[in-house]
Amino acid sequence: MLSVIAAFFLTTFKFTIGFLTGSIGILSEALHSALDFVAAAITWFSVRISDKPADEDHHYGHGKIENLSALIETLLLLITCIWIIYEATNRLISGKTHIEINAWSYIVIIISIVIDISRSRALKRVAKKYNSQALEADALHFSTDIWSSIVVLIGLICANFNIFIADSIAALLVAFIVISVSYRLGKRSINVLLDSVPGDIYKTTKELLTNFNGIESYSNLRIRASGADIFIDVTIHVNNDLSIIEAHNISENIEKKINLTIERSSTTIHIEPN
């Protein structure tokens, strides 16, 4: 919620100064902040929904709303980039790069950097604590805001020495920074939505199963992520001479081991005689 409020404040502030100065760099930052506001609002909404428990219509819970939220953020960022690249390129080609620089131009960017540093750190801390992809996406989003604001600040400093072309170049650099981040966010979100195997978790689970005493082998290991939750299915093969109770105890011990090692994981084990 604090992130949403901060994004709204920065968007209004940047648009006001951007229109007063005519700086495409500041206006590109304003659009970026406007989408930050929308993205933060979507994230706030999705995190509230994703934390709901499983129900009759959603047996695996509501976690994927977080991944969908991160994908929407990516699309919004790409839309911003298209406008920034078009406007900045048009100014460079036409030669209409002159802008009015005043003290407010620097104030809005410096305030933006300070607020974004605070937001990014807070979101990273909470995202790590709750294993939230939506909050992690927001944290990464605001981390790029810091760098893009620094680029715009450099452009303003150059424009102060009548190097007005630097403002449009700064805007293009902002767009390329955002595209790079969007690609990473989008790829990760799509992978989760398509149930791609989380590589690091898959490796950890295999190591746990391989080194666990009591099972002779395992098969059909399947892992999927849904928001902050991880669902693991596996078939274990045990000695024929074991009783049902002994085999069941081995299964329960493996479940406990996996669930303690991998946070917010739910493990289902099928037992087969070897």
Q: Looking at per-residue confidence, does 261 or 10 come out higher?
A: 261
Q: How many CA atoms lie within 13 A of 11 on its CB side?
A: 16
Confidence (pLDDT) at 97? 61
CB 158 within 8 A of CB 68: no
114-122 mean pLDDT: 85
Please, where are the H alpha helices in the chain? 2-21, 24-50, 64-94, 103-130, 133-160, 165-193, 199-210, 244-261
Highest mean predicted confidence (pLDDT) among 14-28, 130-144, 250-264: 250-264
Q: How far apart are CA 107 and CA 123, in angstroms?
A: 24
Can you tell me the mean pLDDT for 265-273? Answer: 90
* 154, 160, 168 from 164: Cα distances, Å: 11, 8, 8
Sequence ranges of the chain with CATH classification 1.20.1510.10: 2-193
pLDDT score recorded for residue 116: 82
- Paired with 234 in beta bridges are 269
Phi/psi region, residue 240 (left: phi>0; alpha: psi -120 to 50; beta: rest), is alpha
Query: Which architecture does CATH list for 2-193?
Result: Up-down Bundle (1.20)
Q: Which of 13-22, 96-105, 262-271 has the highest mean pLDDT?
A: 262-271
pLDDT band at 98 (very low <50, low <70, confident <90, very high): low
DSSP of 62-124: STHHHHHHHHHHHHHHHHHHHHHHHHHHHHHHHT-------HHHHHHHHHHHHHHHHHHHHHH
**Residue 167 to residue 174: CA distance in whole angstroms:** 11
Question: Which amino acid makes up residue 206?
Answer: K
Q: How confident is the model at residue 18 (pLDDT cuts 50, 70, 90)?
A: confident
CB 152 within 8 A of CB 29: yes
Its pTM stands at 0.63
What's the rounded Cα separation, in Å, for the pair 139 and 193?
Answer: 20
Q: What percent of the chain has pLDDT over 90?
A: 11
The per-residue pLDDT for range 134-144, each reduced to its tens digit, is: 777 777 777 77
| Model confidence band, residue 25 (pLDDT cutoffs 50, 70, 90) | low
* Banded model confidence at residue 271, pLDDT cuts 50, 70, 90: very high
Q: Nearest 5°: phi and psi at 77?
A: -65, -40
Q: Which of 79-88, 99-108, 224-233 has the highest mean pLDDT?
A: 224-233
pLDDT digits (tens, 9 = 90+) for 172-191: 877 787 788 778 778 878 88
User: Could you tell me the pLDDT band of residue 269, with boundaries at 50, 70 and 90?
Assistant: very high
Architecture of the domain made up of 199-273: 2-Layer Sandwich (3.30)
pLDDT above 90: residue 233: yes
Across 79-88, 120-129, 168-177, 201-210, which has the greatest mean pLDDT?
201-210
pLDDT of residue 100: 65
Cα R_g (the chain), whole angstroms: 25
- For the segment 120-137, what is each residue's pLDDT rounded down to a tens digit? 888 888 877 777 767 777
If you average pLDDT over residues 23-47, what whole number do you get? 76
Q: In what order do the strands lie in the sheet with 229-238?
A: 217-226, 229-238, 265-273
Mean pLDDT taken over the chain: 81
Mean pLDDT check: name the lowest of 82-91, 254-263, 265-274.
Answer: 82-91
- CATH 3.30.70.1350 domain locations along the chain: 199-273
